[in-house]
Amino acid sequence: MHSTPRDLDTPEAIAELLDAFYRKVLADDRLRTLFVDVADIELETHLPHIRAYWCKLLLGERDGYRRNMVARHLALHARHPLQIDDFERWLKLFRETVNEDFAGPSADRAKTLATRIAGNLVQLTRSPINT
Ligand code: HEM
């Protein structure tokens, strides 16, 4: 028997989602290259930023994330051009991870926002001023 999935509406749920998402990202050949070989992220420093970002988006934590995530992705793109397939892969894993453990309005919002933000990043990385 599966219990009813929780919604993605607490800091604890968001932290769990992101742990599971990064396990998938780092197990994926295509994305691991970008996160590990190109950006050389340290999970202990990266995860708190990502958690703060999603807590701000989903829980409206006003004093949370204040960094410039777009600039960071453009810097990554400048070092290693991001492909449409990279975005599709990222989104597929993100949606999959949400669907595995969460359901509800906030879980739906997370998927909608991720899709929209990924779309914005695609546009920005296709723009001639960012190539
Ligand atoms: C092709 C898809 C993507 C790839 C390969 C990617 C990769 C990365 C990498 C390597 C970093 C670390 C950059 C650094 O510390 O310099 C990063 C940071 C981040 N990413 Fe992405 N990302 C992707 C899409 C997204 C999307 C769609 C979102 C949001 C919905 C997102 C949210 C973030 C946030 C919040 C950070 C933290 C930035 C900070 O340190 O303040 N990413 N991403």
Mutate which of 46, 66, 72 for ligand 1 pocket (most atoms within 8 A of beta carbon): 72
* Band of residue 1 on the pLDDT scale cut at 50, 70, 90: low
Report all structural domains of the chain as residue ranges with CATH numbers, in order of start. 11-130 (1.10.490.10)
CA 106 – ligand 1 centroid, Å: 20
Evaluate whether 52 touches 64 at the Cβ level (below 8 Å): yes
Residue 63: the pLDDT is 83
Q: What angle do CA 4, 27, 17 make, to 5 degrees?
A: 30
User: Would the pLDDT of 72 be above 80?
Assistant: yes
List, in order, residues 6 or more apart from 25 with CB less than 8 Å away.
Answer: 31, 32, 35, 90, 93
Evaluate whether 111 touches 94 at the Cβ level (below 8 Å): yes
Q: What angle do CA 26, 96, 11 make, to 5 degrees?
A: 80
User: Would the pLDDT of 125 be above 90?
Assistant: yes
